[in-house]
Amino acid sequence: MGLLTGKRALIMGLANDNSIAWGISKAFHAEGAELCFTYVGDAIEKRVRPLAASLGVDFIEPCNVDNDADIDNLMVAIKNRWGTFDIIIHAIGFAKKEELAGDYLNVTREGFRIAMDISVYSLTAVVKAARPLLNNGGSVLTLTYHGSQQVAQNYNVMGVAKAALEASVRYLASDLGPDNIRCNAISAGPIRTLAASGISGFKDLLKNFPDVAPLRRLVTQEDVGNMAMFLCSDLASATTGEIIYVDAGFRNVSVKI
Ligand code: NAD
Ligand code: 0WE
């Protein structure tokens, strides 16, 4: 018996084998969860299919979270295949690349709207659509970053979006709690993924992080996957509305130079 045996998990945000969602998927599979993956676009579909197959998963659906119809269609597909389910992993974040450099105050109205829509509203939209299908004992988990709490150079509008995402977690936890469904976030340290490629200063961040972090190392997709597995298991049955750090202790160190 695995810690997630009998649980069905929707995994949103798998792009390739560097994705945080892949670390979570491997940990979930190892503990017996049944998985469904979503993708956006043909390029990502080509990456997701073989990864899913390597875990014996053939339940793969398209879903662009900027589109209510996609979210509704996803829930119809889940209702048809599973009836009900237990876990939502939301590992999605997006801002236009030009918003992730220079001063925050240069953010545009459209850049702000897109970051908030894809990175924040999507969690609530998915939970709202999924709610009739979610089982008692279920769990919703999203991914955040400490740039929500303290200024992180170049993170800019994503920091503002993550602050709103973390507040959403608390409100969703309050709404879902009476049905015994939990909602939490993992705040991960920097990890080299597609969403971190080509970001100015990211290489330096990865280089310097182990000198400062108490554990003297970077965080891995597996570190995050294991915490996600625990949080979505019944071992975390009274934890909801929380932001759990998987950052090798970095956020507690004040002098970072
Ligand atoms: P990733 O690029 O592997 O995953 C991001 C995913 O978001 C991709 O699968 C992409 O397809 C998806 N996505 C973007 N726009 C979408 C849309 N409109 N509809 C549906 N999906 C969409 O990168 P990652 O680092 O694994 O990111 C996963 C989550 O982890 C994000 O929320 C990110 O903010 C967060 N996070 C990342 C780090 C890091 O350093 N990499 C640290 C803390 C938190
Ligand atoms: O949340 C993230 C990634 C956010 C992200 C990254 C991209 C790159 C490509 C959102 N949208 C896009 N859009 C793109 O076009 N992280 C926590 C990783 C990250 O991103 C940073 C960081 C860190 C850490 C950006 C600037 C500074 C630090």
pLDDT for the residue numbered 197: 81
* pLDDT single digits (tens) 19-43: 999 999 999 999 999 999 999 999 9
* pLDDT single digits (tens) 95-153: 999 999 999 999 999 999 999 999 999 999 999 999 999 999 999 999 999 999 999 99
The yes-or-no answer on residue 145 being catalytic is yes
Supply the mean pLDDT for the chain.
Answer: 97
**Residues 39, 104, 121, 145: which is the catalytic one?**
145
Tokens found for residue 43: 């390029």
C-alpha 218/C-alpha 246 separation (Å) is 10
159 Cα–ligand 2 center, Å: 10
C-alpha 89/C-alpha 12 separation (Å) is 6
State the amino acid at position 140 in one-letter form. Answer: V
192: three-class secondary structure by DSSP? coil
Q: Which atom of ligand 1 is nearest to the CA of 195?
A: 2
C-alpha 242/C-alpha 118 separation (Å) is 21
Q: CB 251: neighbour CB atoms within 10 A? A: 14
Claim: this prediction has a pTM higher than 0.85: yes
* pLDDT single digits (tens) 91-109: 999 999 999 999 999 999 9
* pLDDT single digits (tens) 41-68: 999 999 999 999 999 999 999 999 999 9
pLDDT of residue 257 exceeding 70 = no
Residue nearest to atom 10 of ligand 2 (CA): 94
